[in-house]
Amino acid sequence: MEPGEPREPQEPREPGPGAETSAAPVWEEAKIFYDNLAPKKKPKSPKPQNAVTIAVSSRALFRMDEEQRIYTEQGVEEYVRYQLEHENEPFSPGPAFPFVKALEAVNRRLRELYPDSEDVFDIVLMTNNHAQVGVRLINSINHYDLFIERFCMTGGNSPICYLKAYHTNLYLSADAEKVREAIDEGIAAATIFSPSRDVVVSQSQLRVAFDGDAVLFSDESERIVKAHGLDRFFEHEKAHENKPLAQGPLKGFLEALGRLQKKFYSKGLRLECPIRTYLVTARSAASSGARALKTLRSWGLETDEALFLAGAPKGPLLEKIRPHIFFDDQMFHVAGAQEMGTVAAHVPYGVAQTPRRTAPAKQAPSAQ
């Protein structure tokens, strides 16, 4: 046997006189050896009502540009045929992929600390694809070793009606119209966009950045800016500093993240917590920052970092943070984040939104 070469477990022998103490280590060594050879069991899926459920569309999780083109130019039958012919070829990762991997990294830590708890992230793939296309999606998920056990494939129908049944805490899609439908149903949702360039993000810590107004908070303050200008806005915020803002569409998701963070804090792991949250707002700290922070405090919530930019571009700060996802209600800030390599998600809520189209454009099944 070469030095450092792993030793094969020996056949267990009948213990002789005085050998009682040596038999147990041999059996234990054999058990470890064969346990390592056995396939690892995936963890059990939690009950939806106990977990933090993240619903992700297929085109958010994977890149499906070519499939989208085929559907648009050649129709649904050719689209399905193409998917079946390529079902053994895994999709490339899409904009939500690093976020999902980070969720799974947090789950591993939670299960180490709380083996019997179901208070973890549960990822659900929501798609209006035909069930036949599901084989390629399953193959892709297995290829990347993702733990996604729950699928919802609606065969051309909108999956929005199923979100509440899955107790969804956040819905991410590439289809802006479906995201609007989810927001209208009171579900936290955002349209996710790929960055203009790839940036390396943390593999061990989930980082989530939020805008404030019309994302975590209501659009009350933005309405005042739009109607009366910045000077009146500053006066209003000063006068109402101690009055909490109403909640915005993603307040509940921040609340869920905070609940999981506290599970690490209770184990003395605040500084090593694998979840980190950021408030990245165009507000000025001196003139309007106090109300934002006091609102979070009144909800029993906090963010690990709060960045008040006073109207400065958000992209350069986000480049330093390198979040897995950044939520904002204004496409101007979403585009600026994309340019700097950040995966950004648009929250279509509040007065800053453009008027809704009277008739939605035709969407591909892969858009979900």
For residue 368, pLDDT beyond 60:
no
How many other C-beta atoms lie within 10 A of the C-beta of residue 65?
12
Evaluate whether residue 352 is within a structural domain.
no
In whole angstroms, what is the distance from residue 291 CA to residue 87 CA? 52
Looking at the fold, whether 186 and 302 belong to one and the same domain comes out as: no
Bigger pLDDT: 237 or 281?
A: 281
The structure tokens listed for 204 are 């061990």
Looking at the fold, whether 72 and 127 belong to one and the same domain comes out as: yes
Evaluate whether residue 301 is within a structural domain.
yes
What are the backbone angles phi and psi of residue 87, rounded to the nearest 5°?
-70, -15
How many other C-beta atoms lie within 10 A of the C-beta of residue 355?
5
CATH of the domain at 142: 3.40.50.1000
Stretch 201-214: mean pLDDT: 96
pLDDT band of residue 95 (cuts 50, 70, 90) is: very high
Looking at the fold, whether 123 and 169 belong to one and the same domain comes out as: yes
In whole angstroms, what is the distance from residue 63 CA to residue 94 CA? 5
CATH of the domain at 310: 3.40.50
Looking at the fold, whether 175 and 229 belong to one and the same domain comes out as: no
Q: What are the contacts of 104-109 at 24+ separation with CB within 8 A?
A: 104/146, 104/147, 105/203, 105/204, 105/205, 105/206, 105/274, 106/206, 106/260, 106/274, 106/275, 107/43, 107/147, 109/264, 109/274
The structure tokens listed for 158 are 């909108």
The pLDDT assigned to 17 comes to: 45
Domain boundary among 141, 156, 191: 191
For residue 30, pLDDT beyond 60:
no
Question: Could you tell me the pTM of the whole model?
Answer: 0.84
Looking at the fold, whether 88 and 220 belong to one and the same domain comes out as: no
Looking at the fold, whether 238 and 176 belong to one and the same domain comes out as: no
For the stretch 218-244, pLDDT in tens is 998 888 888 888 888 888 888 888 999
Domain of residue 144, residue span: 48-191
Based on the structure, what is the number of domains in the chain? 2
Looking at the fold, whether 94 and 220 belong to one and the same domain comes out as: no
Evaluate whether residue 37 is within a structural domain.
no
**HSE-CB of 249 using CA atoms within 13 angstroms:** 27
End-to-end CA distance of the chain, in Å? 56
Stretch 320-329: mean pLDDT: 97
Any idea which residues carry the catalytic annotation?
211
pLDDT band of residue 29 (cuts 50, 70, 90) is: low
For residue 128, pLDDT beyond 90:
no
For the stretch 135-161, pLDDT in tens is 999 999 999 999 999 999 888 788 899
Looking at the fold, whether 212 and 266 belong to one and the same domain comes out as: yes
